[in-house]
Amino acid sequence: MSLFEAKTPMPRIGFPSALITTLRLLLGALFIMSGGEKLLDLKYFALVIAEYQILPSLLIPAVALLVSLCELLCGTMLLLDLFSRIGASVMLCMMAIFIAAMANNLMRGLDHDCGCFEFLTQWYGLKEEIGVGPIVRDILFFILLLPIALLGSNRIPWKKHHRSNME
Amino acid sequence: MLLSTMSGKLLRRTLVASLLMLSCLSPALAQLHAAASVALAKEESGELDLPAAKAHFDTHSACFVDARSEYSYYKSHIKGALSLSDSRFDEQFPDFRQKITIGTLIVVYCVGPGCPKARNVAEKLKQNGYRNVKVFSGGLVDWSHAGFPMEG
């Protein structure tokens, strides 16, 4: 029995596992879409990051790639329930960074796209500019990620299936 | 005597007719005059309207500069325009300086008339030695509505 399997806190009383599963699936799908679209047009995302005027120009392409990959990877982890606590924890850190970056730009009076969910612009024509709205939304995501990070599972799902079959 | 009286009458009639025609045309002339003076004032203040910008575009006599943010430029811009955003002017200017000589006529544009970025970039270009800078006040909205060439 591995260390991760020994500490599976999923069935804890007080927070229904169905709710955690729902949150995991919803947020996982959302982060996969968000990371995927960024990877598909990495140059555009890098230009949006440049507009935040926080990072040096040399780092921007690497950060754009890292953020996109992180979102895609963590989204997949959440969706498959594969070390979802780690995935949610990484996304929590990223949400905190996004909130801080947007708040910083808002205070400096900068006005530009937030680069959060570009597919909303493409599908629904919603323009995603930095402001109170996207900050509140990211705070909401932060709150929704917390139960997964604290009470979610830290295991490989198909290994568990194998074990149960053996038993 | 009779001939001179006849030619006098004809001359008088011609004069009256001319005056009448002028009085009919004068409101239109006044409007034309006003429009011309506004265009002249804009031209003098370094602003271009759509036909003037298109004329420069067609004759390749100017370098078009997009003052919006780089990601907006990446999505769509006037064909052949360069990006020199108001927000990241200092980072982009060294590259621009290498490409475009000081004497080149530069036409800066933004989204539309309400957007101050074009004027800001034009001002910054003038501060950096570019004297021949004009602002296309209609911007990308006028340009795209007219169906003129875009890319991105």
Q: Give the DSSP letter string of A8-39.
A: --TT-TTS-HHHHHHHHHHHHHHHHHHHHHHH
Cα separation, A160 vs B14, in Å, equals 107
> Helix or strand or coil: residue B133?
strand
- Are B40 and B57 part of one and the same domain? no
Considering only the beta carbons, identify the residue of A44, A110, A112 that sits closest to B74.
A44
- Are B83 and B129 part of one and the same domain? yes
Cα separation, A137 vs A52, in Å, equals 18
- Are B50 and B113 part of one and the same domain? yes
Whether the CB of B123 is below 8 Å from some CB of chain A: the reply is no
- Are B69 and B140 part of one and the same domain? yes
Q: Which amino acid is at B101?
A: T
Instruction: With beta carbons under 8 A apart, name residues in chain B contacting A48.
Output: 71
Reply yes or no on whether the pLDDT at B18 is more than 90: no
A144-153, B30-39, B64-73, B93-102: segment of lowest average pLDDT: B30-39
Q: What is the ipTM of this complex?
A: 0.76
Cα separation, B58 vs B46, in Å, equals 19
Tokens of B90: 């200092």
B64 — phi, psi (to 5°)? Answer: -85, 135
- Are B38 and B61 part of one and the same domain? no
d(CA A70, nearest CA chain B) in Å: 22
A116-120, A151-155, B33-37: segment of lowest average pLDDT: B33-37
* Residue of B124 and B41 predicted with greater confidence: B124
- Are B61 and B136 part of one and the same domain? yes
Contact A15, A62 (CB under 8 A): no
- Are B14 and B80 part of one and the same domain? no
Contact A47 B91 (CB under 8 A): no
Which DSSP state fits B29?
H
The whole-number average pLDDT for the span A139-150 is: 95
What pLDDT, in 10s, does the model give residues A37-93?
999 999 999 999 999 999 999 999 999 999 999 999 999 999 999 999 999 999 999
- Are B100 and B120 part of one and the same domain? yes
Considering only the beta carbons, identify the residue of A43, A51, A57 that sits closest to B69.
A51
Instruction: Look at chain B and report how many structural domains it folds into.
Output: 2
- Are B71 and B5 part of one and the same domain? no
For residue A71, the tally of other CB atoms under 10 A from its CB is 23
Contact A17, A10 (CB under 8 A): yes
Round to the nearest angstrom and report the end-to-end CA distance of chain B: 79
CATH number of the domain bearing residue B76: 3.40.250.10
* A/B interface, count of CB pairs below 8 Å: 27
- Are B2 and B38 part of one and the same domain? yes
10 Å CB burial of residue B75 (0-12, 13-18, 19+) is middle
Contact A35, A71 (CB under 8 A): yes
Average pLDDT, chain B: 82
What are the C-alpha distances in Å from A133 to residues A67, A97, A149, B109? Answer: 21, 16, 24, 30
Contact B134, B128 (CB under 8 A): no
B77 — phi, psi (to 5°)? Answer: -160, 165
- Are B72 and B119 part of one and the same domain? yes
Residue B60: domain span: 46-151
- Are B85 and B112 part of one and the same domain? yes
Alpha-carbon dihedral angle through residues B37, B40, B44, B47, given to the nearest 10 degrees: 110
Per-residue confidence (pLDDT) for residue A165, from 0 to 100: 45
Per-residue confidence (pLDDT) for residue A161, from 0 to 100: 52
What are the C-alpha distances in Å from A96 to residues A93, B18, B83? Answer: 5, 79, 32
Whether the CB of B92 is below 8 Å from some CB of chain A: the reply is no
Q: Among all residues of chain A, which has the CA nearest to that of B74?
A: A44
A74-78, A150-154, B66-70: segment of lowest average pLDDT: A150-154
